[in-house]
Amino acid sequence: MTSFWPIYKREMFAFFVTPLAWVLIVVFLFTQGMHFYLLVDQFAHNAAELGGDETPLSAFFGNTVLLYMVLFVLVPPMTMRLFAEERRSGTIESLMTAPVSSAAVVLAKYAAALTTYVAMWLPTVLYLVILRRADPDGQLDWRAAASAYLGVLLVGAGYLAVGLCASALTRSQFLAMLFTALVLLTLFILGVGEFVTSDGTLLHDLCAHVSVWAHMNDFASGLVDSRHLVFYGTMIALPLFVATRAVDAWRWG
């Protein structure tokens, strides 16, 4: 895996020299900033009407669709170029003839995308500082905050793996972006089915198992369920395995 770091650094450089990267970062931080401001303002003026168990932290991470809509918009453009652009332009040929393993190529590209995703979320830690200072009792559930960020990391890691796999299976960035968006939207719609299906049915259990909304509600409440960890571990490992096999297929014809 000595070839991992050169490819990783190459991908990080390639991402941050494009205008698309900075546009995505600015849009993401602006959207999350407005989201946080509106939630805090709502809690400040309507605290009596809101549920006693709900906090700005749980509302920001678990009880709003805006978080997931941002990921739908963010992840497909981030991952569409990872393999598709190199296949279209022909630069993938030099990479495939180099003494690097297919697994190293896939993992390096994935790690670069995940690092960028984490970097986008890092400034939002300031929101915790603001909540800590604004609370007259100085009380903030740091365990719930850490759990919520773990959930955000796992959801993003799973979505990025799906996007990388889509990029590895096509030469078209547009098709990779479209396929990723469709898969993520399908998962979200299945998750919403948890709220419209009858309890105790197989369909309800399936919808609850894939519901990112239910997962993030648990994470934002400080609950780390092993079932969620297994689900996102599978969601990361399976697309990366398929992408590695796709890269092997190009290499060996």
Ranges 124-138, 162-176, 182-196: which has the least confidence: 124-138
Go through 133-145 and write b for each residue having 16 or more CB atoms within 10 A of its CB, e for each that does not.
Answer: eeeeeeebbeebb
- Quick one: CA dihedral 194, 190, 66, 108, positive or negative? positive
Q: Residue 226's domain spans which residues?
A: 4-252
Instruction: Give whichever of 181-185, 190-194, 198-202 has the largest mean pLDDT.
Output: 181-185
pLDDT tens digits for range 207-220 = 888 888 888 888 88
Q: What is the pTM of this model?
A: 0.88
In the chain, DSSP assigns E strands to none
**pLDDT above 90: percentage of residues in the chain:** 19
Q: Is the per-residue pLDDT at 16 higher than 70?
A: yes
Residue 64 pLDDT class (50, 70, 90 cuts): low
Confidence band of 136 (pLDDT split at 50, 70, 90):
low
Residue 22 phi, psi (nearest 5): -70, -35
* Number of domains the chain contains: 1
